[in-house]
Structure 1
Amino acid sequence: MQNAAREVERLGIFFRDKAFDFETVRVMWYAPAGGADLGEVLSATRRIRNGDTDSWFREWNRIATVLLDRAGGLRDDLSRGNALLRAANYLRTAEFFLDPADPRRGPTADRARTSFDTGLAALGVELIRTEIPYGEAELELMYFLPRAPAGPGAPLLVVCGGFDSVPDELWFTVARAALERGFAVLVYEGPGQGNLLRRYGIPFEHRWEVPSSAVLDWAAAHIETESTTGVGISYGGRLLARAAAKDPRYDRIVLFDYFPRMLDAFTASIPWPLRSAAATMPPWLARIVSTAGRFDTQTRWALANARWTFGAADLPDLVAKLALDSGDEWAADIAADVLLLVAEREHFYPKSLAYRFAERLTGARSVTLREFTSAEGGELHCQNGALNAAHEQIFDWIRLPRG
């Protein structure tokens, strides 16, 4: 409850609705990477009704359309590319709160991807999209070739997202910054994400070593590199950590930010007296949680997105699926260097869980835990709104000399 109270203190920049406000800060988070402009964000937000998801979609879609129309008449490649990338981010944002079954989701996601790819091409970014077998499906990879003079042998960043990100978003989160620093970047989707979810209906799988190892196999066959650093964003931090415990090919891993078991995050949002019942989710508690979702945007969205991405029929089924991720017994098997980021005012889980996880990394070559504070502006989950501060920590840590 203290975490939630502190979060209210920090939010309210754009909206009273905490979910709307956090996601708008998330849009602005990408301004340093070319994903937003303040005037455009204000143009959208001043027309959105607090907590109204239809107006949220309409206005972000509107400002994206304004940009797409303008970009079509621009002769300057740099201007056109930057406009298209901002439009892609606004379209991702427009789609965010839509119900998984909403017919607007698919077309909006397609427009966002087209805008993203066209924008990168205008900027001269070399991107290879490819697919690799994943069971009976195809797992999509995005390989950003290193910029000259790095060339072959450049250090490689392998990046995965989390509970609600799409692969293209990770360009703004970390891929662009890595390319500017001479890295090659490989972004991939896993089950519960991207096309594996949308096209094939494959839900999240906590045994993330399966998609991760397939991606590292592809990298070994196609990329010459001096070192491999894994970066997991939000829930992707937990997924990456487990993958690194099972597959020793990561030299370093960055948990950006640390994330606990999804069940722990879910139960942390339930009032303390009711948490003991959350593990079994009896019908009476399911009714309480579902009722809360009618009045709280964050709860309503999180439940709908979780049922979709975990392939759950209802709330008790969701809890049962989350419980399949039974614990952190594998943490001691991580042998890589580990950078674990955490936010002072983390609101998805008690931040003490990050410190406990760090204590379990007894087999790691090194462990660095960095807590970002409100005094430096990085106190929100994944340093939302403080992208430069996060990049400074991540890339300086990667550059540390190691014996």
Structure 2
Amino acid sequence: MSHIDPMSLPAPDPADPAGLDDLLSEDEKEVRSAVRQMLDASAEPYIAEWFENGGIPNIRELTKELGSLGVLGMHLEGYGCAGMSAVEYGLACLEIEATDSGLRSLVSVQGSLAMFAIWRWGSEEQKQEWLPQMAAGDAIGCFGLTEPDVGSDPGSMQTRARRDGDDWVLDGRKMWISNAPYADVAVVWAKTDEGVRGFIVPTGTPGFSAPEIKHKLSLRASATGELVLDGVRLPASAMLPEARGLKGPLACLNEARYGIVWGSLGAARSSMETARRYARERVQFGKPIGAFQLTQQKLADMSLEYTKGYLLALHLGRRKDSGLLRPEQVSIGKLNNVREAIEICRTARTILGANGISLEYPVIRHQNNLESVLTYEGTVEMHTLVLGQLLTGEPAFR
């Protein structure tokens, strides 16, 4: 083995001091680059305004552009879906959330919740009807599980579906549903005499409405609403035939959580890089604040936690691509990476000082968004208990 003097090697990139890019294939880098280029052109210049104004005015055009790029349901096979790897999907989520968590929520809800539910649990007819147009961004989906009084305990849902002749009639409410105000189709979970079942509900069905939830201070670029089901009558063919019990919706949530493991790192990277650049430019006491030890400690700690989170996400992605990823392992990733990402954002905010609360910089926007990401798709408490049960063999949920 030949000896190479480490000091003769090129200095590491300050934006990637551990050389994480060496772990990616050329195809994976190309996917990442394509997503970044699209976002830089179509979203990055406008995202602060969308956040401040509380919505994306050209949401359908943007969704179609995401569909043309192939990121909607990109990890699913067939039916117009791109069929890419779990790692490629994760890298796309990272880049999308580096622009904004609300955009990544749009993609996650579309692909990993609504589309995955139909792809995994639907009939062939349902798949043929909905998946191609959803993959193209021509139809937007939402996923109705959470209710006003039911969050972490979906088994206590109050939404009911009853048979009436050959039809199903749905009554109930769902709450905090991303994409709901402009969705074309909702995947709704309801209790029946046969247990929990899933239903495909076109949003134009009589008795269905999706009023928008206003006054949010987080995920403001993402439209969130209620689903109100008041005697919504559906044909028998609207039921997802392969989903029985809570296994159906929980499998969908696991797909979305995997995307969050990667996505949260995007918000962290954006904030960390903003802080690093700011520390080199902001002069106090005659020199850049990046020359002071306390600032360097903050930057070093942020870089370390980001690196560890990235390695964890990549490891879980490789396991998923090998068919070896367990839900408990996704919980490890979601628990660690969102928790560390929000701490990175908070630390970056301190480096920017008062500028850290301005939308002229992305940091406070990412920090506020992550407050929602910390809670949805499983709270910190629930993922902690999932890991606790794995470590002890004792369930402590009740």
**Normalising by structure 1, what TM-score?**
0.28
Larger Rg: 2
Structure ranking higher on relative contact order (CA contacts 8 Å, 6+ apart): 2
**Normalising by structure 2, what TM-score?**
0.28
